[in-house]
Structure formats: structure tokens, C-alpha cells
Amino acid sequence: MGEPVNANWQGFWTDLPHEQGLAVWDSSPAVTATAQLPLFEQHFAVDLPVLDVGCGNGTQSAALRGHYARVIGLDFAPAAIEHATSIQAGSGVEFRTFDLADTAAAERLHTELGDTNVYMRGVLHQMPDERRADAALSLRTLLGASGHLFAVELAPAAGETIKDAIDQGPDSVPKMRQVFKHNLTPAAWVDGKLRQVLTGAGLVILDSGAVTLEGTDFLPNGDRLDLPMTYVVARAEG
Ligand SMILES: C[S@@+](CC[C@H](N)C(=O)[O-])C[C@H]1O[C@@H](n2cnc3c(N)ncnc32)[C@H](O)[C@@H]1O
């Protein structure tokens, strides 16, 4: 299942021009990573590298670099890494291909970097269920004993909001339509699954709550597409 979903993402990023704000989730950091810093900065030791896992075009990675000395953006779609390296050239972020569901690759990265803090936005909610357990094991490996995870994912209820938006007509939410064109599956899970996947890999949830994704897409009446998200802060069991 890893290869088809990777191919879907590769197709999505290949079709998109190298410009910020074209993906439906590509919101300004002022309402995203920077605004949400108070939710996780007290947990992120500043001397650890920060990994932005599933970084896409690197918008949030570049914002994190404003606060942390070493930020590495990781994505399994080479086309996403091409976006990030061209759009975020000069940001000081290093971008690499990496599949979170590849537990051996996570071990290698941990051997190279030691413990890391992980920022992850919008990755597990769309992942095929059979890959999530390995993805969570990789997260645990990357954190090691001292790292912390900030994960922010579409809430299951976002699925209904997306469906309502699409049903408003062919001109409604054009950027969200691009996601479905590439067979991607936003919000494909149920309440409690984020917590279950992470605790199943031996992570302890320290904090959780709700935030809103201020999308870059619009309904026919001009309203912005906003979607409910759930965040957690977690670390490995002691
Ligand atoms: C919804 S986008 C979010 C991008 C970015 N985090 C942001 O907030 O702008 C999800 C990203 O996760 C990447 N992705 C999905 N599954 C992945 C995996 N198993 N390993 C690494 N990246 C993955 C996709 O290629 C895509 O760029």
C-alpha cells in the first residue's frame, strides 16, 4: 500500500506549480506553526533538532527555523521535496526524502541525529490504516528518550465539512478538488484513532486539544474553508 499512496502524493505535488498557498492546507505560518508554538514550545528542548515530518512544500518548516537552530523537513514524495527546496531556498532548512512508515529508515535517522523533536501536520489522518502502526513506531524511534512530538491532524468531523463544501457546486473549493483528483483521502479515520495509534507505539500523550485549519480555499459565497483539527503533544513512555 506504500507505493500507491506515495505515487498519489508524488502526482499531487508534480501537478502543482512551485508557489506557496496553492495547496488547500498551505496556510500562512502566522495562523499555523507560529500561532501554535505556545502549544508545544515548552516541551521542545531547543538543543534538539526539529523534524517536520511530511513537510510538503516546507512552509511550516521554514517558520519553525525562525525558532529552532536545526530544522529538517522530511517527505516521502520527491516532488514535495523539490517544491520545498525551491520555494524555501535560503530558509536554512534542510529537506530530505523519508517515508515515516519505513521503521528501518527511522532507525537510521535516529542513529545519525540522536533524539529529535517532531512537528507533524496533516500526515496520519490521510495515511492508509495499515501503515499507521509503523508510522507511530518510527515516531517513537525518532523521539528517543528526550524528544517530544507535536502532531496536528484533521479531525474525523472534517470529512463532513469537506463533503458539504464539495456538494455546493463545481466551483466550490477548487483546491480541495485537486486532493480528490489524486485519490488522496483526507480525514479518513474515526474519533480516538490518533490517540490509539500513538499510545499503541508506546507514546504517552501529555496534552491534546482542538485547533482550526484556516484553509486557502473558498466556498461559492466567498467564505473560507475552515476545518477542525486535533493536536497532541506526546513523548516516549519512560
Ligand atoms: C496534507 S500534506 C501536509 C504538508 C505539510 N505538513 C503542511 O502542513 O503544509 C501531507 C504531506 O505528508 C506527506 N506524507 C504522506 N505520507 C507520508 C509518509 N508516510 N512519510 C512522509 N511523508 C508523508 C505527503 O507527501 C504530503 O506532502
Q: What is the CATH number of the domain that holds 134?
A: 3.40.50.150
Residue in the block written with cell 506526546: 234
Give pLDDT tens digits for 153-190: 999 999 999 999 999 999 999 999 999 999 999 999 99
The verdict on residue 19 lying in a domain is no
The verdict on residue 130 lying in a domain is yes
The verdict on residue 213 lying in a domain is yes
Ligand 1 lined by 83 (C-beta under 6 Å)? no
Write phi, then psi, for 45 (nearest 5 degrees).
-60, 130
Above 60 in pLDDT, residue 113? yes
The verdict on residue 20 lying in a domain is no
Residue in the block written with cell 515516531: 139
Give pLDDT tens digits for 7-42: 999 999 999 999 999 999 999 999 999 999 999 999
How many Å lie between the centroid of ligand 1 and the Cα of residue 80? Answer: 8
Ligand 1 lined by 27 (C-beta under 6 Å)? no
Above 90 in pLDDT, residue 92? yes
How many Å lie between the centroid of ligand 1 and the Cα of residue 154? Answer: 12
Residue in the block written with cell 529538517: 72
142 vs 140: CA distance, rounded Å: 6
How many Å lie between the centroid of ligand 1 and the Cα of residue 160? Answer: 21
Ligand 1 lined by 159 (C-beta under 6 Å)? no
Ligand 1 lined by 76 (C-beta under 6 Å)? yes
Give 48-94 as a DSSP string. Answer: S-EEEET-TTSHHHHHHHTT-S-EEEEES-HHHHHHHHHHTTTS--E
Ligand 1 lined by 99 (C-beta under 6 Å)? yes
Above 60 in pLDDT, residue 2? no
- The DSSP bridge pattern shows strands 71-75 and 149-154 to be unpaired
Whole-number mean pLDDT of the chain? Answer: 97
Above 90 in pLDDT, residue 5? no
Domain count, the chain: 1
Do residues 103 and 131 lie in contact, with contact meaning Cβ atoms separated by under 8 Å?
no
Mean pLDDT of 99-125: 98
Query: In this structure, what C-alpha cell is assigned to residue 56?
Result: 510538503
Expressed as residue numbers, the domain containing 228 is: 3-14+26-34+46-236
Residue in the block written with cell 500562512: 28
Q: Whose CA is nearest to atom 3 of ligand 1?
A: 122
Ligand 1 lined by 103 (C-beta under 6 Å)? no
The verdict on residue 40 lying in a domain is no
Give pLDDT tens digits for 126-156: 999 999 999 999 999 999 999 999 999 999 9
Mutate to test the pocket of ligand 1, among 75, 120, 216 (most ligand atoms within 8 A of CB): 75
Residues in a beta bridge with 73: 52, 95
2 vs 102: CA distance, rounded Å: 9
The verdict on residue 183 lying in a domain is yes
Mutate to test the pocket of ligand 1, among 5, 8, 9, 12 (most ligand atoms within 8 A of CB): 9
pLDDT at 1: 46
**C-alpha angle 141-86-44 in degrees, rounded to nearest 5:** 35
* The model's pTM: 0.97
226 vs 164: CA distance, rounded Å: 12
pLDDT at 224: 98
pLDDT at 71: 98
pLDDT > 70 fraction of the chain, expressed in percent and rounded: 99
The verdict on residue 41 lying in a domain is no
Report which of residues 2 and 228 the model is more confident about: 228
Burial class (CB in 10 A: 0-12, 13-18, 19+), 174: exposed
Q: Whose CA is nearest to atom 11 of ligand 1?
A: 54
Write phi, then psi, for 34 (nearest 5 degrees).
-70, -45
Give 169-206 as a DSSP string. Answer: -TTS-HHHHHHHHTT--TT-S-TTHHHHHHHHTTEEEE
